[in-house]
Structure 1
Amino acid sequence: MRFMMTFHIADFFDTLVSLTTAFVFGALIGAERQFRLRTAGLRTNVLVAVGAAAFVDLAMAITDADGAVRVISYVVSGIGFLGAGVIMKEGMNVRGLNTAATLWGSAAVGCCAGADMIAQAGALTVFVLAGNTLLRPLVNAINRIPLDERSAEATYQVVLTANAAALGDLRDALTESLDKAHYPVAEIEVVARADNVVEIVATLVANTVRAGELDAVTGDLERLPGVRHVTWDASTSND
């Protein structure tokens, strides 16, 4: 049997280390995405990392470093197609770019693990997690900076994440709260997420808002029954 000729306990143990490393680090990245109810969550990021590690490890075993480099280039291209599947265009806005970039990072972690670069895989995992967590307050702070209306136009959205059972009442409560704050809603959309969770996305009519006022509205909404999280952001388009 060819299996007896190709099987070596040391090589098999090396493969297990690579795949286990990719699994653990991919799970860390995916857990953060799962917690935030993103399209590509825990299982997707784990499978991307483990798959990338398996391909690179296989190339290292049957060829050499040059062969692994070629496989890595194909992994990068393949993840590009996978990432495109989680990007959605909703009107003038594009959602899912951060999730697609995270999948790219998970693939890179897997490639490092498959190439037996365990420390590098761990360091890359830390940077990916930091980009998705530690930079979030900075992004929110930047979004709250008053915009120069002469150079940019902003579209403001309030996103309420809630249990699907409370959808009707919370959609009305969101609209009423924004109207009372003198921020009428131009469009409201419901996006279904996993595990009976929905996102209610309200696009505002106003071109500019006061950050403190929207913070107060989102704070009041977060205290309603069935609400998991409320946030707001601004997307701009320069002339």
Structure 2
Amino acid sequence: MMNPWFIDPLHITIRLALAVLMGGLIGFEREQSSHAAGLRTHILVCLGATLVMLLSMYGFADFAKLDNVRLDPARLAAQVISGIGFLGAGTILFTGKSITGLTTAASLWVVAAIGLAVGAGFFYAAGLACLFALMSLFVLNILEKKYLRTKKLRHFKLEALDAPGMLSKVSALLVRQGHDIQKLSVEESSNQVESLIAIQMTIRLAKGAKVSQTVDDLHHLEGVRSVACD
């Protein structure tokens, strides 16, 4: 049985290597999806959490020999769990129309917990959590894209001639292609050469529709001067 106040270099190496491996697996999925926190960030978080757990459990062995000293290995671990929130918050972006980065922030929190578990020698739970996290991020991401995100909201901005029937032509084209117009607004556009209007629309694209093709179709409408989509 391992001495509770001593851990040999082999066990240290195994635990830190496992932290790099498990954190790297989850980080690799985030990297493939081009998210803010990728491979290196997840490895560093998991590795750091493991080191903190090792330090909490075995780094203060000398103090255990002193009178009236009580050691609580969970104290440093608790600081990791609360402190990782600041790093996760940095990956969350609010663009004014949507919030992104929540899944990446959650994955950072999970790899921190995995790192703590590895550092504590709780290998089975760490490995199982890593497996479930990979399933959530990779497998469910594929299913979500295939079945739950077939129709996305897109914001279009057009500049077109201020002519009778222009708005009807734009709407008719979109409806004919199966798109659903959620919001629509029209404003005058300042132009000294010709009279233009600015049409802003929020559209739920039809299943299988490509944004580039929709932009191209709108741009080729007679009287449309420019099309932008975000």
Aligned residue among 104, 112, 119 for 1:107:
112
Amino acid at match of 2:43: V
Q: Does the Cα contact within 8 Å between 1:19 and 1:53 map onto a contact in 2?
A: yes
Q: Deviation at 1:139? A: 2.7
148, 166, 175: which one aligns with 1:142: 148
Aligned equivalent of 1:13, options 6, 10, 14:
10
Tell me the alpha carbon deviations over residues 92-150 of structure 1, each in whole angstroms, 9 at most, x when there is no partner.
311100100010111111011100111211111111111111212443323458xxxxx
Give the TM-score normalised by structure 2: 0.62
Letter of the aligned partner of 1:39 in structure 2?
A
- Equivalent-residue separation in structure 2 for 1:28 and 1:37 (angstroms): 15
1-side partners of 2:135 and 2:47: how far apart?
21
Q: Once the 2 structures are TM-superposed, how far is the Cα of residue 49 of structure 1 from its aligned partner?
A: 0.2
3-state SS of 2:8 partner: helix
Matched to 1:27, the amino acid is G
2:102 to 93, 97, 114: 97
Task: Please say if residues 181 and 217 of structure 1, whose CA atoms lie closer than 8 Å, have aligned partners that are also in contact.
Answer: no
Higher helix share: 1
For the residues of structure 1 that align with 2:82 and 2:50, how far apart are their CA atoms? 15
Q: Distance in 2 between matches of 1:66 and 1:142?
A: 49
Distance in 2 (CA, whole Å) between partners of 1:116 and 1:157 is: 48
What whole-Å deviation, never above 9, does each CA across 1:43-81 have from its counterpart, x for those lacking one?
000000000000001111035896221111110111101
In structure 2, stretches of 5+ residues that fail to align are 1-5, 62-69, 156-172, 184-199, 215-230
SS of aligned partner of 2:17: helix
Percent identical among aligned pairs is 32
Structure 2 equivalent of residue 56 of structure 1 = 53
Q: Check conservation: 1:53, 1:111, Cα contact below 8 A.
A: yes
Give the direction of change, closer, same or farther, for the CA distance of 1:87–1:14 in structure 2 (3 Å limit). same
Tell me, yes or no, if the aligned pair for 1:156 and 1:204 is still in contact at 8 Å.
Answer: no
Q: Aligned partners of 1:204, 1:99: CA distance in 2, in Å? A: 30
**CA gap 1:157/1:121 in 2 versus in 1, 3 angstroms:** farther
Aligned positions, number = 165
Per the TM alignment, residue 182 of structure 1 is displaced from its structure 2 partner at its CA by: 7.1
**RMSD (Å), alpha carbons:** 3.3
Q: For 1:67 and 1:55, how far apart are their aligned partners in 2? A: 13
Partner of 2:42: 45
Alignment partner, residue 33 of structure 2: 36
Residue of structure 2 in register with 1:205 after alignment = 202
Q: Is the 8 A contact 2:150 2:207 kept in 1?
A: no
The amino acid that maps onto 1:11 is D
Match of 2:217 in 1: none
